[in-house]
């Protein structure tokens, strides 16, 4: 279904560049996305997904390489033998993440719901993968026609949902060798399909993981004064550590500790010897993120010590914020404007979610766009990481045409 008329000026804008998505390929990509949605695979286990992407790229005459980790791929398009082609200037890379989440798919009346128990593409990675695949197929056809003067790289990355993220392994596999810029999209259920959200600077937040053990001698609940009241100590860590940290860092940094799991005790009249807590540390600011491990360790030790509990802290580094490069962000803005007009772009806020795309941006400039996936007029939001998450598949068309336009504009067309 075409929706060019939804955005004023989009129809004329779409004619400005080659590389629009053909209807036959549009239909194929929707089927490809639905197949991925039915067969979700967790991080570093994406063997079927990798094989499906590889087979389709090879069918198009391309030569994808499976990453050293055994899942995920990298594939270059263009850079042939024609003398006018630019093979020296660093490439633009298009990145997709390919893994799913360990949650059940709860959609009740969906023909393509997950067939794997407790596994679901509830973050839109099936869409991201399909968008980069589709862009690669369109660009490969332009290359065959001699209309792609500069090579482009496709990166299909595993394990985005596994801290500290599969991006580091992909970088170690050489996916950034020869790359000068990198772009990505992330599904946004708050933005209508047909639109994207852009932002200069930080667009996601840092995200780390905390695993804490608290220990004491235990005892009878009739005599808490003779032992360490471990449940109370645990409760104090839960309630007081976030506030203590908030007073030791600039409030504008958004440094926040949030708990997701507490376990302790087995019966009502026994003070336990052991408690466990798990949570996340999120941060809007890169410098505060770098200070976070020391701040969190000190706060936990301080509160636990007041209650005579011994603390063991496993602070697991996750990902820094995704900080969009202004120049690359404007490349995406120009690309979307060329395809669907300037009114198809909206400003977006910084999210508290984490994204390992940030590791690429530690090496090369890049930008991530929010890809609208909400059906226009739909009430409510099918939020990310929820079992009923789904998308308006028109977003695939928009993502493909955004990336093909960005590649062509980066090549100077």
Per residue of the chain (413 residues), what is the pLDDT tens digit? 345 445 544 544 445 689 999 999 999 999 999 999 999 999 999 999 999 999 999 999 999 999 999 999 999 999 754 445 555 689 999 999 999 999 999 999 899 999 999 999 999 999 999 999 999 999 999 999 999 999 999 999 999 999 889 999 999 999 999 999 999 999 999 999 999 999 999 999 999 999 999 999 999 999 999 999 999 999 999 999 999 999 999 999 999 999 999 999 999 999 999 999 999 999 998 889 999 999 999 999 999 999 999 999 999 999 999 999 999 999 999 999 999 999 999 999 999 899 999 999 999 999 999 999 999 988 877 889 999 999 999 999 999 999 999 999 999 87
Largest Cα–Cα distance in the chain?
86
Cα–Cα distance, 109 to 195 (Å, whole number): 27
- The model's pTM: 0.89
Paired residues of 323 in beta bridges: 202
In this structure, the chain runs to a length of: 413
Interaxial angle between packed helices 125-144 and 47-59, expressed in degrees from 0 to 180 and rounded to the nearest 10: 20
Contacts (Cβ under 8 Å, ≥6 apart) of 330: none
Gap between the terminal Cα atoms of the chain: 28
pLDDT score at 364: 98
φ, ψ of residue 206 to 5 degrees: the values are -70, 150
pLDDT score at 233: 97
Cα–Cα distance, 160 to 43 (Å, whole number): 7
Could you say which DSSP state residue 226 is in? G
Cα–Cα distance, 283 to 289 (Å, whole number): 6
- Vertex 382 angle, CA 379 and 388, to 5°: 125
Peptide bond into 183 cis (omega under 30): no
Answer for the pair 93, 176: CB distance below 8 angstroms, yes or no. Answer: yes
82, burial (CB in 10 Å: exposed 0-12, middle 13-18, buried 19+) = exposed
Neighbours of 291 (CB within 10 A): 15
The two structure tokens encoding residue 37: 């949605």
Answer for the pair 266, 305: CB distance below 8 angstroms, yes or no. Answer: no
Q: Which residue has the tokens 């996936």?
A: 373
3 state DSSP class of 271 = strand
**Nearest residue to 3 (alpha-carbon basis) of 401, 409, 412:** 401
pLDDT score at 389: 96
Side-chain-facing half-sphere of 337: CA atoms under 13 Å: 10
Give 76-81's long-range contacts (Cβ < 8 A, gap of 24+): 76/151, 76/152, 76/153, 76/154, 77/136, 77/139, 77/140, 77/143, 77/148, 77/151, 77/152, 77/153, 77/154, 78/139, 78/143, 78/148, 78/149, 78/150, 78/151, 78/152, 79/150, 79/151, 80/143
């Amino acid at each position: 279904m075409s929706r060019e008329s939804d955005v004023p000026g989009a129809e004329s804008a779409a004619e400005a560049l080659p590389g629009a998505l053909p209807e036959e390929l549009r239909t194929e990509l929707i089927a490809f996305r639905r197949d991925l949605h039915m067969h979700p695979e967790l991080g570093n286990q994406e063997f079927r997904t990798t094989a499906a992407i590889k087979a389709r790229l090879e069918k198009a005459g391309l030569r994808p390489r499976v990453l050293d980790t055994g899942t995920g791929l990298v594939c270059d398009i263009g850079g042939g033998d024609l003398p006018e082609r630019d093979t020296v200037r660093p490439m633009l890379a298009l990145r997709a993440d390919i893994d799913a989440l360990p949650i059940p798919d709860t959609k009740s009346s969906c023909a393509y719901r997950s067939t794997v128990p407790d596994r679901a593409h509830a973050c839109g990675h099936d869409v991201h993968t399909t968008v980069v695949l589709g862009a690669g197929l369109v660009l490969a056809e332009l290359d065959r026609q001699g209309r792609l003067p500069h090579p482009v790289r496709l990166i299909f990355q595993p394990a985005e949902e596994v801290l500290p993220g599969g991006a580091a392994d992909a970088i170690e596999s050489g996916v950034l060798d020869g790359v000068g810029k990198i772009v990505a999209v992330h599904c946004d259920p708050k933005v209508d399909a047909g639109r994207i959200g852009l932002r200069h600077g930080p667009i996601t937040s840092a995200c780390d993981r905390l695993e804490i053990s608290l220990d004491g001698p235990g005892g009878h609940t009739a005599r808490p004064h003779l032992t360490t009241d471990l449940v109370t100590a645990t409760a104090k860590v839960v309630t007081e550590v976030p506030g203590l940290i908030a007073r030791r860092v600039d409030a504008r940094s958004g440094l926040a500790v949030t708990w997701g799991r507490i376990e302790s005790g087995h019966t009502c009249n026994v003070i336990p010897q052991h408690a466990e807590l798990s949570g996340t540390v999120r941060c809007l600011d890169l410098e505060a993120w770098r200070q976070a491990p020391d701040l969190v360790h000190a706060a936990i030790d301080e509160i636990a010590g007041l209650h005579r509990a011994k603390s063991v802290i496993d602070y697991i580094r996750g990902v820094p914020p995704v900080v969009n490069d202004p120049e690359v962000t404007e490349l995406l803005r120009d690309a979307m404007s060329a395809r669907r007009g300037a009114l198809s772009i909206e400003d977006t806020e910084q999210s508290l979610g984490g994204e390992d795309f940030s590791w690429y941006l530690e090496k090369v400039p890049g930008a991530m766009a929010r890809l609208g996936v909400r059906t226009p007029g739909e009430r409510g939001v099918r939020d990310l990481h929820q079992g009923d998450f789904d998308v308006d598949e028109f977003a695939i068309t928009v993502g493909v045409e955004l990336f093909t336009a960005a590649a062509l504009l980066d090549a100077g067309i």
